[in-house]
């Protein structure tokens, strides 16, 4: 047997040949479990590959997969790869999202990225057909792939390792959505680095409720399992939000060993899982917190709440990750609690790091761990030079698996990728070799593991009739009910505008374009929003003035 293939279509064929009867995925939905073997995955994806080729898809062209939670997500994606296409997942429309807005936004997006085909379901196909036909983009349905269910390997493509394999699309409105281009080589090199950091072997099993259009669900869970030939237990994200305990049922039933979660998910589990329930979660080698600012208090609450289920602080690890580095940048060591550093609060606000004790003003920061093998991190001051010791600066990184740029966005690529270094936009510092992430250079707000930009939300609100142009501001607030980060909008409105109707309209507009549920919308008197001396909206000052103050109510009281 030759060396293990280093391309995604190659590895799918390889596992199908060498461990075809082995489980690739246990797909959980509405109380049922469907087992997909590696042979199933290869066979079903061949059907999609044949269907895509028959619709004119050629190697190197982009195929977008927009499907609800079902095994067809995997089949369609792997089918696109088998056809030699560049495959990409995009979010399926939420049931409450306005379809017309969804179609209009995606038509603009598709006009820019020009996929050759979109794989979707009947309802979305009906909604999107006119827009896609106008752009000459084929729509492929699951039924078409089933017609080719007996397709063989004829026409199978073995791409070059340096070829672009996938696009990971960021969240955001159509104007800001970026497709991160990743080569097969980058994906496989990253997998080796992540495997080394986490000691991943073929005996591992990943349990995930994460959506596949998000890098954590896509790379760490789906691609990781595919490349390593390990078992993935996949839950429906919508189902998990409503019934968080399903994740623990899955871990216990399959003795899962790895579980990636954004910070809010630790909190959601600790707050919603019925107090009387117990599981055996000792099989988990690591719960990995990433994609959001990770909080020591959240870990403490999670460990305390699930101690009877075998959860220990040593299982709770942290990673700093981003699509531009395929996924992982750092990881805290396994087998030890993630380090908590207490720093002087006042100095911290000024960007200086001074370690201190447990004083009243101390701020507790959770380490994101050590760089993955091959990853270099530099902390830079605003002038681009290395930040002084003890100072917070922008996190720059370089690695053998850095992305190849943003698809069809050369200027935005050039703005962040210079001399082989990627400027992350995140702020942080290194202490004793470990990375600590402290905030953002720009106005990005992370909500439930997804990234949103305040200016983008403000632009959406400013377009609405009744809003005084340029007089809307968005900022992060604490959603005390869910113990998570939320977004509040404050705005000034025209004298004849209907306040109640406008508040609803603002929430609808933001949800329809970004699938972001705003925490609250405050209408403030004309002229009340603060501006900077240069005439721009002053987010920080407005946040201090208009952020709701739910923190006055202890979190525990809301449960």
Partner 1 sequence: MSADRSAVAAIVIAAVVRTFRIADPASIGEHTTAQDVDGWDSLSHTMLLMEIEQDVHCELPLDELFLATNVGELIDISARAAGAAAP
Distance between alpha carbon 42 and the CA centroid of its chain, in Å?
Answer: 26
Q: Which of 402, 537, 345 is nearest to 459 (CA)?
A: 537
- Name the residue with tokens 């329930």: 277
Between 322 and 487, name the residue whose CB sits nearer to partner 1: 487
> CA geometry: angle at 254 spanning 43 and 227, to 5°?
45
**Residue 448 touching partner 1 (CB under 8 A):** yes
Distance between alpha carbon 368 and the CA centroid of its chain, in Å?
Answer: 17
- Cα dist. 141→2, 90, 325 in Å? 36, 15, 32
Asked if 394 and 380 touch (Cβ cutoff 8 Å), the reply is: yes
**Residue 264 touching partner 1 (CB under 8 A):** yes
**Residue 241 touching partner 1 (CB under 8 A):** yes
**Residue 163 touching partner 1 (CB under 8 A):** no
**Residue 69 touching partner 1 (CB under 8 A):** no
> CA geometry: angle at 53 spanning 49 and 55, to 5°?
120
What phi and psi values does residue 25 have, to the nearest 5 degrees?
Answer: -145, 140
Count of CB atoms within 10 A of residue 540's CB? 11
**Residue 278 touching partner 1 (CB under 8 A):** no
Size of the site for partner 1 (CB under 8 A): 34
Nearest-approach distance from CB 484 to partner 1, in angstroms: 6
Between 224 and 486, name the residue whose CB sits nearer to partner 1: 486
Count of CB atoms within 10 A of residue 121's CB? 16
| 3-class DSSP state of 14 | helix
Between 167 and 480, name the residue whose CB sits nearer to partner 1: 480
Between 126 and 559, name the residue whose CB sits nearer to partner 1: 559
Nearest-approach distance from CB 246 to partner 1, in angstroms: 10
Between 75 and 248, name the residue whose CB sits nearer to partner 1: 248
Q: Which of 305, 302, 312 is nearest to 281 (CA)?
A: 312
**Residue 293 touching partner 1 (CB under 8 A):** no
**Residue 68 touching partner 1 (CB under 8 A):** no
Count of CB atoms within 10 A of residue 100's CB? 10
**Residue 93 touching partner 1 (CB under 8 A):** no
Q: Can you list the alpha helix ranges (DSSP code H) found in 469-538?
A: 499-514
Nearest-approach distance from CB 241 to partner 1, in angstroms: 5
Q: Scanning residues 5 to 64, which ones bind partner 1 (CB under 8 A)? A: 30
Between 370 and 505, name the residue whose CB sits nearer to partner 1: 505
Nearest-approach distance from CB 455 to partner 1, in angstroms: 21
**Residue 96 touching partner 1 (CB under 8 A):** yes
Residues that bind partner 1 (CB under 8 A): 30, 95-96, 238-239, 241-244, 264, 268, 271-272, 448, 479-482, 484, 486, 500, 503-504, 507-508, 511, 517, 519-520, 548, 550, 553, 558-559
């Amino acid at each position: 047997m030759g060396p293990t293939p280093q391309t995604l279509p190659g590895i799918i064929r390889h596992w199908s040949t060498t461990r075809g009867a082995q489980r690739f995925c246990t797909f959980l939905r509405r109380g049922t479990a469907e087992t997909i073997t590696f042979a199933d995955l290869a066979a079903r994806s061949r059907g999609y590959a044949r269907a895509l080729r028959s619709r004119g898809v050629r190697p190197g062209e982009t195929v977008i997969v927009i499907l609800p939670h079902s095994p067809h997500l995997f089949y369609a994606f792997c089918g696109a790869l088998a056809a030699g296409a560049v495959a990409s997942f995009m979010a399926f429309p939420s049931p409450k999202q306005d379809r017309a807005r969804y179609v209009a936004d995606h038509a603009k997006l598709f006009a820019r990225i020009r996929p050759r085909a979109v794989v979707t379901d009947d309802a979305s196909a009906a909604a999107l057909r006119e827009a896609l036909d106008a752009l000459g983009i084929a729509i492929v349905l699951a039924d078409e792939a089933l017609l080719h269910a007996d397709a063989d390997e004829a026409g199978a493509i073995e791409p070059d390792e340096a070829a672009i394999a996938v696009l990971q699309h960021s969240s955001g409105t159509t104007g800001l959505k970026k497709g991160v281009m990743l080569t097969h080589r980058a994906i496989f090199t990253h997998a080796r680095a992540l495997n080394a950091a986490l000691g991943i072997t073929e005996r591992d099993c990943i349990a995930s409720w994460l959506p596949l259009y998000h890098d954590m669900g896509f790379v760490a869970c789906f691609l990781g399992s595919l490349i390593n030939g390990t078992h993935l237990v996949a839950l429906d994200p919508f189902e998990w939000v409503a019934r968080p305990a399903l994740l623990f049922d899955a871990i216990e039933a399959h003795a899962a060993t790895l579980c990636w979660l954004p910070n809010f998910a630790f909190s959601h589990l600790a707050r919603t899982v019925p107090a009387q329930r117990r599981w055996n979660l000792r099989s988990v080698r690591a719960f990995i917190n990433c994609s959001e600012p990770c909080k020591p208090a959240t870990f403490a609450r999670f460990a305390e709440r699930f101690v009877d289920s075998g959860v220990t602080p040593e299982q709770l690890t942290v990673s700093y990750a981003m699509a531009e580095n395929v996924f992982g940048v750092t990881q805290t060591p396994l087998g030890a609690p993630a380090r908590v550093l207490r720093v002087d609060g006042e100095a911290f606000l000024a960007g200086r790091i001074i370690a201190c004790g447990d004083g009243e003003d101390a701020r507790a920061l959770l380490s994101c761990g050590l760089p993955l093998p091959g990853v270099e991190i530099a902390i830079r001051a605003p002038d681009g030079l290395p930040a002084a010791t003890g100072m917070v600066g922008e996190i720059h990184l370089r690695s053998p698996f850095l992305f190849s740029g943003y698809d069809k966005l050369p200027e935005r690529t050039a703005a962040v990728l210079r001399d082989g270094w990627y400027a992350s936009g995140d702020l942080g510092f290194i202490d004793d070799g470990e990375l600590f992430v402290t905030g953002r250079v720009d106005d990005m707000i992370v909500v439930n593991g997804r990234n949103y930009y305040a200016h983008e939300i403000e632009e959406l609100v400013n377009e609405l009739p009744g809003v005084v142009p340029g007089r809307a501001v968005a900022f992060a607030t604490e959603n005390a009910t869910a113990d998570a980060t939320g977004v509040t909008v404050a705005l000034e409105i025209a004298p004849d505008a209907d306040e109640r109707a406008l508040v609803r309209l603002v929430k609808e507009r933001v949800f329809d374009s970004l699938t972001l549920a705003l925490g609250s919308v405050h209408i403030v008197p004309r002229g009340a929003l603060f501006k900077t001396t240069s005439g721009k909206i002053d987010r920080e000052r407005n946040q201090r003035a208009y952020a709701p103050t739910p923190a006055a109510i202890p979190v525990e009281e809301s449960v």
